[in-house]
Structure 1
């Protein structure tokens, strides 16, 4: 189980890196387009279509890592007031419902992706831009997030998942130092 969990975690992290690279690519594409437009009074052909596809990649490829890292929105108003056993059942039901929903969306995404690949779908604009790669990545991302939800449910039942998500756990932060002759606000000295 731990080996599978680590493998899914590594794949989710890789997908998160792809999503982050997508954000960087969007930034570079838009800055390049604006720069060229300022200098030449013309846009770069295909940038709109590229950014449109990259937004899909960023959105879907980052979901699994977000779940793994515990960075998605979690409302613990009810579960923190329940006994640990009941809380575990309620959280499991919620995560399983999320897994089923993600699996349903993934199933639909795969149908769209296979159809798109089969017909060689392109977005017609100034440049004929292929849409099937983004559709395949969306299907992959939804499949992985469904798997991540299942892994979260398993961790809840094995009691290795807490109510405290990874992202909200306290991090070590260095205390600021005052420069000579100044006092830090809120300090006792």
Structure 2
């Protein structure tokens, strides 16, 4: 079980990078706004940098949100299920998520490899490489797939509560 918790803790740590991306994005936008307003000189590549930071914020944070159970859930249909039925519902939900997100991650990884090999870049005033963004997106999705797999296997073996023991928990149930 310690390996499962280590993967979950790694997901949470990578998710913390998404918080840093938020702060960096705020600094880029603030610098751009001040440059435009007071010096009539916008920050070059501010939009491109902000997009890359937004991708990092969203996709690097997903596995951490999964690990801490921070995703919002609408529980109207499952609120009255027995603990046993709730456990089976969670396993089914994780299996469906694993299959769906696994397929998306597979195609995203293939595309990231292709974009990197081609040196994909934007066509604008400035040359900006897009392939690093594709890699960030792919890594984030692959980490999410790994975390869902850990949650699925761990919940199947040890149960839902024991699997989440020792990790931060932020219920997003509505």
| Normalised-by-shorter TM-score class | 0.7 to 0.9
Give the structure-2-normalised TM-score: 0.88
Shift of 1:125: 2.1
| CA distance in structure 2 between the partners assigned to 1:40 and 1:75 by the alignment | 48
Contact 2:12–2:68 (CA under 8 A) maintained in structure 1? no
| CA distance in structure 1 between the partners assigned to 2:55 and 2:111 by the alignment | 14
Shift of 1:160: 3.8
Q: How many residues align?
A: 167
Residue 51 (structure 2) aligns with: 52
1:168 equivalenced with 2:167 (yes/no)? no
Q: Which structure has the larger Rg?
A: 1
Residue 32 (structure 2) aligns with: 33
Shift of 1:35: 0.8
Shift of 1:60: 0.6
| CA distance in structure 1 between the partners assigned to 2:138 and 2:63 by the alignment | 12
Structure 2 counterparts to residues 98-109 of structure 1, below 5 A: 98-109=97-108
Residue 114 (structure 2) aligns with: 115
Spell out, residue by residue over 1:112-143, the C-alpha distance to the aligned partner (whole angstroms, 9 max, x if none).
Answer: 10011001111122221111111111111101
Residue 66 (structure 1) aligns with: 65
Contact 1:15–1:62 (CA under 8 A) maintained in structure 2? yes
Contact 1:122–1:128 (CA under 8 A) maintained in structure 2? yes
**Relative contact order higher in (CA < 8 Å, ≥ 6 apart):** 2
Displaced runs of 4 or more, over 4 A: none
1:81 equivalenced with 2:101 (yes/no)? no
Residue 148 (structure 2) aligns with: 149
Residue 16 (structure 1) aligns with: 15
Q: CA RMSD in A?
A: 1.9
Shift of 1:16: 0.8
Residue 89 (structure 2) aligns with: 90
Alignment gaps of 5+ in structure 1: 170-189
| CA distance in structure 2 between the partners assigned to 1:18 and 1:5 by the alignment | 21
Give the structure-1-normalised TM-score: 0.81
Residue 159 (structure 1) aligns with: 159
Shift of 1:39: 1.9
